[in-house]
Amino acid sequence: MEKISVLGSTGSIGRNVLQVVEKLSHRFEIVGLAAGENWELFQKQVEKFKPQIVSLLRKEDAQRIQHWWKGSPMRVSFGPEGPEEVARFEENDVVVSAITGINGLRSTLAAVETGKKVALANKESMVVGGALIQQAARDSGAHIIPVDSEHSGIFQCLAHEKREYVKKVILTASGGPFFHTPFQKLKEKTLEETLQHPRWSMGEKVTIDSATMMNKGLELLEAAWLFGLQPEQLDVLIHPQSVVHSLVEMRDGSILAQLSSPDMKIPIQYALTYPDREKMWLPSLRLSQIKSLEFYDADVQKFPLLGLAQHALKEGGSVPVALNAANEIIVDFFRKRRIKFIQISPLVKEIVEKHPKRKVESFKDIFKIDREVREEARNLIEKRF
Amino acid sequence: MEKISVLGSTGSIGRNVLQVVEKLSHRFEIVGLAAGENWELFQKQVEKFKPQIVSLLRKEDAQRIQHWWKGSPMRVSFGPEGPEEVARFEENDVVVSAITGINGLRSTLAAVETGKKVALANKESMVVGGALIQQAARDSGAHIIPVDSEHSGIFQCLAHEKREYVKKVILTASGGPFFHTPFQKLKEKTLEETLQHPRWSMGEKVTIDSATMMNKGLELLEAAWLFGLQPEQLDVLIHPQSVVHSLVEMRDGSILAQLSSPDMKIPIQYALTYPDREKMWLPSLRLSQIKSLEFYDADVQKFPLLGLAQHALKEGGSVPVALNAANEIIVDFFRKRRIKFIQISPLVKEIVEKHPKRKVESFKDIFKIDREVREEARNLIEKRF
């Protein structure tokens, strides 16, 4: 049996991971679960999977769990270091890193440092600390398998191709809920409308990032680090059907592409079973039912955060850290209804453009810059709104 | 330098091969050329590539070449055994087998027996003698790389995937010139209209086979033998844009696909350079310019030869041999305007259904059955038209 720990088990990815593990119970077993504040769901997960180590954000929730499972040998941890403990649990064969945002960075690093297989759903680790995470993986021998559907697709297409053969890697984007909305109408868009993604059922943060196309921008940065690609090798295509997840153009004119139904369980299962492919219980994708797959160039005028991410990709250094921090804070204010949808992009842009680029040489640097930018973003909002 | 011989150098594939070799003259050199009766073009090819061995169908053409290149050490051969001599030429590193129809079988076998790399464009070899050709390749250590765009696509997608992971292999078909023609209107279609393929520029025989969808049927049989697939693992999808050449559905819900501009130079170059990928001079495929890729189920009522080929695939033995022989003769009568387009399918079907299935244990068996069925087909036409 392969032993799995899931960091972020009550989130959208985490819940899908547990479904896949249940279906593949002949080869997988959950040994660790880490979650935030969703006590109710977590308790059900613990009851079902009986992990050996768990972690929750709040001390009182951890104590509740401990009380509830009195007499069991389950290790219970809490606080921001909790997920790291689960990540380092010696029984792990695979760690699924699925905590959203920069909060997932420390535990991703912890998982990578153990040298185990890491199924990476937390894209921010690669966005802000790609070079350092990859160095840690080289040092420990950890194998990082992407969980994002686009990156899983690239991983599968690139599998055995030499990097020098790759001309371009194209990530597709559904275009989000506002692909058909004219720019002028974006200012009317509410939080509720932003959370109605046409194709993918995902967490709130990533759904909002999808509406601004920041999600695709972060994915470009993630892909650059995951696959060792140059900025000019990366591109985005709008593909509203979300069936083709990515395309790899070889220098000889061939393009390899990966397709599947837009269901996260497919890339999750691939990441868990890699290098095997296990039978999937979901129905096959039928192209003759979908009939038409459309492709459009991305509109960087309408979605300036995509352009900003491409800028950050070229700049490197602390710019991607600033981009991610500014976006996390600004999106948070949008979720709290302090600002409107249309204000997200210009605010993030303003903060990133003000940010003086620095070198990033350690995780300490990342956290320092991250804190500073968050502080600035908060101040800017408090002053202005 | 890698030394290449081209069997069928004046045909559509052969001409494309020579263009690719010219562009990649830093690594490839032509050492052998075999052609049929197109003396004029062949003479230009010989002048340009200065091969060490050549072959033509007619003795008088061979003598002309010999006279013309008097004093050169070029070996000149002729007759039906000519291509075999070129195929066995000891200097060859790669043999491109691109003679159309069952005429290409002997020279394909000769190439495979040398244990060299064989770029296979002659699909009939695999259709009628797949088991025997694959056995010869195992014995000699020859590496067979498909040249057909669909099979090149499958080859690329399957490259490093275990066969047990493959659920389905889907070949796309443009639908040919009559995809939009209602069945009732097919009876009006002339030879000229049949030869107007909407996407691919190919030889006459394969263009006609494209219009009846027999071409896709032959490709299914070829794919089964090339990749060791079961009949139920193979399927066809109509894709009028001819950009996605094939799709491989894995058992875990992922589909890998290969795309490129519909230009034979792309799969030809891949076959020649495999396992490398060399830079291609043609412009990149731009999906946002094509905008929409469509997919439809194939209509076996309208194109009964596709269904007949699927039947032959399941039956095996001598049935694929009969199918190919009947089709070659009937298409030949169509090219000579003895029969109409609409008559091709029912005539081929009638002959194949009358054919008593036998075992095929040797190339002798194949040629015997092939001769018999051709004879029957000719008699049937002579009697009836």
Summarize the confidence of residues A316-328 as an average pLDDT: 97
Nearest chain A residue to B294, by CA: A292
Query: What is the Cα–Cα distance from B269 to B69, expressed in whole angstroms?
Result: 30
Query: What is the Cα–Cα distance from A126 to A221, expressed in whole angstroms?
Result: 7
Q: Do A294 and B292 touch (CB under 8 A)?
A: yes
Query: What is the Cα–Cα distance from B374 to B258, expressed in whole angstroms?
Result: 37
Q: Do B295 and A288 touch (CB under 8 A)?
A: yes
Tokens 């799995």, located at residue:
A4
Q: Do B252 and A261 touch (CB under 8 A)?
A: no
Q: Say whether B107 sits in a helix, a strand or coil.
A: helix
Domains B2-146 and B316-385 share a fold: no
Minimal CA separation from A187 to chain B, in Å:
28
- B366: tokens are 């194949």
Summarize the confidence of residues A343-372 as an average pLDDT: 97
Q: Do B260 and A256 touch (CB under 8 A)?
A: no
Nearest chain B residue to A168, by CA: B284
Q: What is the band of A203 on the pLDDT scale with cuts at 50, 70, 90? A: confident
Domain boundaries along the sequence of chain A? 2-146, 149-303, 316-385
Q: What is this structure's pTM?
A: 0.95
**Those residues with Cβ within 8 angstroms of residue B240's Cβ, 6 or more apart along the chain or in another chain:** B174, B175, B179, B198, B199, B294
Correct CATH for B2-146 of 3.40.50.1700, 3.40.50.720, 3.60.21.10, 3.30.450.20: 3.40.50.720
**Interface A:B, Cβ pairs < 8 A:** 143
Give pLDDT, residue A201. Answer: 77
Tokens 């080869």, located at residue:
A27
Q: What is the band of A160 on the pLDDT scale with cuts at 50, 70, 90? A: confident
Give pLDDT, residue A249. Answer: 98
Q: Which of A134-148, A190-204, A250-264, B235-249 has the lowest mean pLDDT?
A: A190-204
Give pLDDT, residue B160. Answer: 83
Q: Is the pLDDT of residue A311 over 90?
A: yes
Q: Do B254 and A261 touch (CB under 8 A)?
A: no
CB-nearest to B258 from A255, A261, A287 is A255
Using an 8 Å CB-CB cutoff, list chain B residues near A160. 159-160
ipTM of the complex: 0.95
Using an 8 Å CB-CB cutoff, list chain A residues near B265. 253
pLDDT digit string, tens, across residues A94-148: 999 999 888 999 999 999 999 999 999 999 999 999 999 999 999 999 999 999 9
CB-nearest to B249 from A160, A249, A284 is A284
Give pLDDT, residue A155. Answer: 97
Fold for domain B316-385? Rna Polymerase Sigma Factor; Chain: A (1.10.1740)
Give pLDDT, residue B191. Answer: 95
Summarize the confidence of residues A229-238 as an average pLDDT: 97
Query: How does pLDDT run along chain B (385 residues), one tens digit per residue?
Result: 999 999 999 999 999 999 999 999 999 999 999 999 999 999 999 999 999 999 999 999 999 999 998 889 999 999 999 999 999 999 999 999 999 888 999 999 999 999 999 999 999 999 999 999 999 999 999 999 999 999 999 999 998 899 999 999 999 999 999 999 999 999 999 999 999 887 777 889 999 999 999 999 999 999 999 999 999 999 999 999 999 999 999 999 999 999 999 999 999 999 999 999 999 999 999 999 999 999 999 999 999 999 999 999 999 999 999 999 999 999 999 999 999 999 999 999 999 999 999 999 999 999 999 999 999 999 999 999 8
- Taking Cα atoms as reference points, which of A133, A107, A87 lies closest to residue A226? A133
Minimal CA separation from B217 to chain A, in Å:
19
Q: What is the DSSP letter of B357?
A: P
Q: Do A253 and B285 touch (CB under 8 A)?
A: yes
Q: Do B249 and A165 touch (CB under 8 A)?
A: no
